[in-house]
């Protein structure tokens, strides 16, 4: 029987009304990480547009990074304020997953006067900042911060959480040979470099229980010299599958492949979907309904993440119920990633 992108499906305890995922685009708030009216409007618009599942912009797990203008879940005081957002999204029968991150040396804004942590003291390619190599106790502390934030997300009513282990943030850096020069149990072989992610997942799982959905976003390519290899990517996905992760969102250095007019990471996503009994979400470059449906039926990829296209046309899922012939209007200009646009499409500003 042919599968369609509009199928209703189930991932563990989560019911999904279609196979479309609104992939994360960062939200910018005032220092302190609190929910804003713009965020409420953004997520209500996405849910109203018909998408089955929304992944929020990355959300801080550690108060030491609280000087960044990024939403946060590092304290119990955040739990109640997210309930309005969650209830609003649920009113349109959409799911909402909170994406959790530790920034590390990929500093986005003023870091304040504090130690900046990383797997090793290697200058960040984006900003030149050299972090402090994390001690074993700091590693355990960060793992616990992820778990505590996940428990708060669960209490608030989020349908699940996603660990952000892609795009050069801290968890991703542990996997990447360029950034990880450690000589202890967290460095060297892929078994050691992958330990941070696998332990973080396990600590979070223990904290939230077996039934609460945990997704993870992983780079299949870093787009840099001495970045993650394909074999490294396959290894970490296989190990996460053994541990019971609910879904793996495949991403990578999409700017490195932005000239590709099709789904950027379709080959890598198809590979791990064939090798592992795990739900695979393909994000990056999805612009054509027909191609996504072909991938759905020719591989084990089950879901399709779209970030910038849904910001430009949030009603695409409803549109596809009637007509799936047109490509999205998004031209990948990346203006929605600028702080001043706060995750909105410039093509909508005069509407």
Region label for 276, one of left (φ > 0), alpha (ψ between -120 and 50) or beta (otherwise): beta
Q: Kindly give, in sequence order, each residue whose CB lies less than 8 Å from that of residue 350, ignoring residues fewer than 6 positions away.
A: none
* Confidence label for 334 from pLDDT (cuts 50, 70 and 90): low
Q: What is the mean pLDDT of residues 166-174?
A: 97
CA distance 52 to 96: 9
Say how many CA atoms lie within 13 Å of 89 toward its Cβ.
Answer: 24
Give the range among 16-25, 41-50, 143-152, 307-316 with minimum mean pLDDT.
Answer: 307-316
CA distance 41 to 90: 14
Q: What is the mean pLDDT of residues 128-137?
A: 96
Domain spanning 21-348: CATH superfamily:
Aldolase class I (3.20.20.70)
Q: Kindly give, in sequence order, each residue whose CB lies less than 8 Å from that of residue 66, ignoring residues fewer than 6 positions away.
A: 31, 32, 33, 60, 72, 74
DSSP state of 284: S
Question: Percent of the chain scored above 90 by pLDDT?
Answer: 79
Q: Which residue has the higher pLDDT, 196 or 69?
A: 196
113, pLDDT greater than 90: no
CA distance 47 to 318: 11
pTM: 0.94
Closest to 150 measured CA to CA, from 141, 160, 140: 160
118, pLDDT greater than 70: yes
pLDDT at 137: 98
Q: Please, is 1 exposed, middle or buried when counting C-beta atoms within 10 Å of its C-beta (0-12, 13-18, 19+)?
A: exposed
How are beta strands 132-133 and 59-60 bridged, if at all?
Answer: unpaired
For residue 172, the SS3 value is: helix
Q: What is the mean pLDDT of residues 193-216?
A: 98
- Length of the chain equals 351
* Confidence label for 351 from pLDDT (cuts 50, 70 and 90): very low
339, pLDDT greater than 70: no
CA distance 274 to 280: 10
Q: Are 179 and 167 in contact (CB under 8 A)?
A: no
All structural domains of the chain with their residue ranges: 21-348
Sign of CA dihedral 146, 196, 250, 111: positive
14 to 88, 127, 247: CA distances (angstroms): 17, 39, 11
Q: Kindly give, in sequence order, each residue whose CB lies less than 8 Å from that of residue 287, ignoring residues fewer than 6 positions away.
A: 261, 262, 309, 327, 328, 330
Say how many CA atoms lie within 13 Å of 251 toward its Cβ.
Answer: 23
How are beta strands 53-55 and 117-118 bridged, if at all?
Answer: unpaired
């Amino acid at each position: 029987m042919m599968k369609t992108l509009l199928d209703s499906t189930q991932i563990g305890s989560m019911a999904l009304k279609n196979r479309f995922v609104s992939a994360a685009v960062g939200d910018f708030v005032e220092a302190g990480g609190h929910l804003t009216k713009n965020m409420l409007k953004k997520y209500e618009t996405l849910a109203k547009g018909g998408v089955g599942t929304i992944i929020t912009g990355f959300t801080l797990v550690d108060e030491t990074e609280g000087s960044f203008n990024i939403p946060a879940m590092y304290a119990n005081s955040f739990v109640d304020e997210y309930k309005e957002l969650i209830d609003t999204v649920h009113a349109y029968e959409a799911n909402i997953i909170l994406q959790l991150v530790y920034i590390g040396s990929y500093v986005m804004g003023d870091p304040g006067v504090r130690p900046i942590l990383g797997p090793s003291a290697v200058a960040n390619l984006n900003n030149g900042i050299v972090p402090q190599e994390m001690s074993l106790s700091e590693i355990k502390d960060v793992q616990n911060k992820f778990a505590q934030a996940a428990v708060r997300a669960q209490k608030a009513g989020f349908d699940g959480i996603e660990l952000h282990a892609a795009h050069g943030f801290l968890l991703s850096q542990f996997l990447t040979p360029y950034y990880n020069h450690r000589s202890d149990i967290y460095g060297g072989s892929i078994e050691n470099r992958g330990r941070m992610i696998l332990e973080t997942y396990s600590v979070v799982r223990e904290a939230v229980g077996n039934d609460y959905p945990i997704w993870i976003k992983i780079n299949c390519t870093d787009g840099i010299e001495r970045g993650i290899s394909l074999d490294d990517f396959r290894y970490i996905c296989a190990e996460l599958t053994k541990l019971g992760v609910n879904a793996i969102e495949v991403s990578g250095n999409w700017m490195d492949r932005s000239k590709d007019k099709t789904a950027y990471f379709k080959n890598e996503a198809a590979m791990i979907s064939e090798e592992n009994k795990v739900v695979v979400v393909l994000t990056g470059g999805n612009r054509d309904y027909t191609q996504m449906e072909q991938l759905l039926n020719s591989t084990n990829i089950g879901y399709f993440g779209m970030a910038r296209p849904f910001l430009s046309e949030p009603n695409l899922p409803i549109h596809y119920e009637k007509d799936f012939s047109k490509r999205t209007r998004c031209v990948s200009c990346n203006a929605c990633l600028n702080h001043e646009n706060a995750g909105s499409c410039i093509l909508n500003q005069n509407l």
